[in-house]
Amino acid sequence: MATFGNLSDRLAETFKNLRTKGKLTAADVDGTVREIRRALLDADVALEVVKAFTGIVRERALSDEVNKALNPAQQVVQIVNEELVQILGGTQRRLEFAKKPPTIIMLAGLQGAGKTTLAGKLAKWLAKDGHTPLLVAADLQRPNAVTQLEVVARQAGVAVYAPEPGNGVGDPVKVARDGVKYALQKVHDVVIVDTAGRLGVDAELMKQAANIRKAIDPDEVLFVIDAMIGQDAVATAKAFQDGVDFTGVVLTKLDGDARGGAALSVASLTGRPIMFASTGEGLDDFEPFHPDRMAGRILDLGDILTLIEQAQGAFDEDEARKVAEKFATDTFTLDDFLGQMQQLRNMGSIKKMMSMLPGAGAMKQQLDNFDEREIVRTEAIIQSMTKLERTTPKLLNGSRRLRIARGSGSSVTEVNQLVQRFDQAAKMMKTVARGGMPNIPGMGPIPGAPFAGGKGKQVQKKKGSKSGNPAKRAAENAALAAGVKPVTPSTDAAGSGFGIGGGASTAQPGKGKAGGPSAEEMEALQKMLGR
């Protein structure tokens, strides 16, 4: 995650130095804790939190659980991971829905934190779970805030209640109260109230937010905070806690490039859990906050569970089963390939998904250089083909490829590369579908693994004559084809290139040695020699 990128790099470098040591001394632990302290302070984590965190890590790192561990370095990483999870809230906190609908959720925070956009993201996320959310435009202070909420609601496909035009006109407390009544009439089971913010904490802001809370009695009050706010995050959070008393925290702009460590301090110092995280500008860039998964991302341990959940949400199981059958029966086409790529795009940013893999920090440069528009170019090339060309790529001759390149705004070389990659991928997946181990390009077959088809049998060598005489080789191959073992000269006789002489005691009268020349052949040979 970009916001915690610098902190992640610093911690990874610190742990790298530990892995070279078989046993950790007190000096090693102190040096590691010192580097962790510097990394957290540089990331704008509150001093109070840093002191408590490093104190616990040092105490546990010097205990018997590390001294008796087979790999002390990994044990220290595990300790840091566990304590980082505790800073982030310990366990995931879910929304608490009202026993009698509607569930009322109030959003509070400073202006510019992203409350209005977050309202749409939260509403769309709830709608996916079968809820019928209603957005209430109670931010009547900021210019065009009501219009923005209406646009966001339209994009999210949810209802909105906006009786006042805003821009300083209207009573936000009355709008919030009437919005709850409207939700009861229209049978909406969730109400999300978007309130006004200010550029800074002031008495007027807190009084208005407190009056709205008193009027609607919300089930959840979510404090929306910008992850890039810096050290002021703690003071702002405490001010809202004293003035409004929120029940949960939402982090926004986690895709930014700021240090973002101050957000780690909020949950620890306020005692309120981080419940959601906004990871991008799109309405789908929104996810529940899991402290253990976030700690894994910060320490470059990966977040496989979130990646699996995103894949399950984007890919159709029935479609995946059909594609697997097509791989096995060698009927996978470029149309199917296009469909798979489009499903992959539905999962979101490829860079973001790859960053969830363990050890992704080591591939930071490759991820930065990755161009996500390459998928769009590939789609354009395939969509420039005719239906017949997609189902039968063998038809793609030179003139067809030139036409496709012109139609997609690419070069013939790019078209050739796409077809080549498609052929390789189809062959590999066909092998896997049949239970075999594919030959990975540049690596060759894996030793001990079954070959294509999953049979696990070695390919038999082709039998045939190895004679250097063309006439003799043809005669022996013909004999093999007819199922007759060819007659070969014996090599038991010493000093004779024709196999003559010696071994007479084993020869039958009139037939010569077994496998040797017959009497007729000997007579013909003597005539040839003039005897």
The 10s digit of each residue's pLDDT in 183-195 is 999 999 999 999 9
Closest among 232, 191, 287 to 109, alpha carbons compared: 232
Would you say 109 is a known binding-site residue?
Answer: yes
Helix (H, G, I), strand (E, B) or coil at 416: helix
Amino acid 453: pLDDT: 43
Of 223-232, 352-361, 489-498, the one with minimum mean pLDDT is 489-498
Identify whether residues 82 and 117 lie together within a single domain. Answer: no
Would you say 124 is a known binding-site residue?
Answer: no
Identify whether residues 41 and 164 lie together within a single domain. Answer: no
Identify whether residues 342 and 418 lie together within a single domain. Answer: yes
Q: Which of 433, 466, 486 is the last residue of a domain?
A: 433
Helix (H, G, I), strand (E, B) or coil at 122: helix
Q: How many domains does the chain have?
A: 3
Average pLDDT over all residues of the chain: 76
Identify whether residues 179 and 231 lie together within a single domain. Answer: yes
Tell me the C-alpha distance between 40 and 259, whole Å. Answer: 10
Tokens of 466: 């190895």
Identify whether residues 427 and 320 lie together within a single domain. Answer: yes
Question: Is residue 523 situated within a structural domain?
Answer: no
- Domain with residue 398: its CATH number is 1.10.260.30
Of 73-77, 385-389, 485-489, the one with minimum mean pLDDT is 485-489
Question: Is residue 151 situated within a structural domain?
Answer: yes
Would you say 195 is a known binding-site residue?
Answer: yes
Question: Is residue 217 situated within a structural domain?
Answer: yes
Question: Is residue 308 situated within a structural domain?
Answer: no
Of 174-178, 403-407, 450-454, the one with minimum mean pLDDT is 450-454
Bridging pattern class, strands 190-194 and 248-252: unpaired
Helix (H, G, I), strand (E, B) or coil at 429: helix
Secondary structure (H, E, C), 434-465: CCCCCCECCCECCCCCCCCCCCCCCCCCCCCC
Amino acid 449: pLDDT: 46
Amino acid 117: pLDDT: 93
Closest among 302, 104, 316, 310 to 216, alpha carbons compared: 104
- Are the beta carbons of 303 and 297 closer than 8 angstroms? yes
- Domain with residue 140: its CATH number is 3.40.50.300
Identify whether residues 109 and 217 lie together within a single domain. Answer: yes
- Are the beta carbons of 180 and 191 closer than 8 angstroms? yes
pLDDT tier for residue 336 given thresholds of 50, 70 and 90: confident
Domain that holds residue 126: 103-289
Closest among 118, 112, 113, 148 to 133, alpha carbons compared: 118
Residues 6+ apart with CB under 8 A from 424: 441
Q: Could you give the C-alpha distances from 425 to 313, 428, 429, 498, in angstroms and in order?
A: 24, 5, 6, 57
Question: Is residue 26 situated within a structural domain?
Answer: yes
Closest among 102, 140, 106 to 122, alpha carbons compared: 106
Is pLDDT of 16 > 80? no
Is pLDDT of 261 > 90? no
How is 131-190 classified by DSSP, letter by letter? --EEEEE---SSTTHHHHHHHHHHHHT-EEE--S-BTTBS-HHHHHHHHHHHHHHTT-SE
Question: Is residue 362 situated within a structural domain?
Answer: no
Would you say 111 is a known binding-site residue?
Answer: yes
For residues 293-306, average pLDDT: 66
Check: pTM over 0.85? Answer yes or no. no
Identify whether residues 126 and 257 lie together within a single domain. Answer: yes
CA atoms within 13 A on the CB side of 525: 8
Residues 6+ apart with CB under 8 A from 153: 120, 123, 135, 159, 160
Would you say 116 is a known binding-site residue?
Answer: yes
Would you say 232 is a known binding-site residue?
Answer: no
- Domain with residue 65: its CATH number is 1.20.120.140
Would you say 194 is a known binding-site residue?
Answer: yes
Question: Is residue 60 situated within a structural domain?
Answer: yes
Question: Is residue 366 situated within a structural domain?
Answer: no
Would you say 117 is a known binding-site residue?
Answer: no
Is pLDDT of 485 > 50? yes
Identify whether residues 254 and 182 lie together within a single domain. Answer: yes
Identify whether residues 424 and 324 lie together within a single domain. Answer: yes
DSSP-assigned beta bridge partners for residue 274: 249
For residues 192-213, average pLDDT: 86
Q: Which amino acid is at 346?
A: N
Strand order in the sheet with 190-194: 159-161, 133-137, 190-194, 103-108, 220-226, 248-252, 274-278, 286-288
Would you say 527 is a known binding-site residue?
Answer: no
Tell me the C-alpha distance between 316 and 114, whole Å. Answer: 32
Of 8-17, 187-196, 373-382, 441-450, the one with minimum mean pLDDT is 441-450
Identify whether residues 77 and 116 lie together within a single domain. Answer: no
Q: Which of 54, 88, 122 is the last residue of a domain?
A: 88
For residues 109-130, average pLDDT: 91
Identify whether residues 13 and 156 lie together within a single domain. Answer: no
* Cα-based angle 161, 165, 167 (whole degrees, multiple of 5): 125
Q: Which of 53, 88, 123 is the last residue of a domain?
A: 88
Identify whether residues 165 and 108 lie together within a single domain. Answer: yes
Is pLDDT of 395 > 80? yes
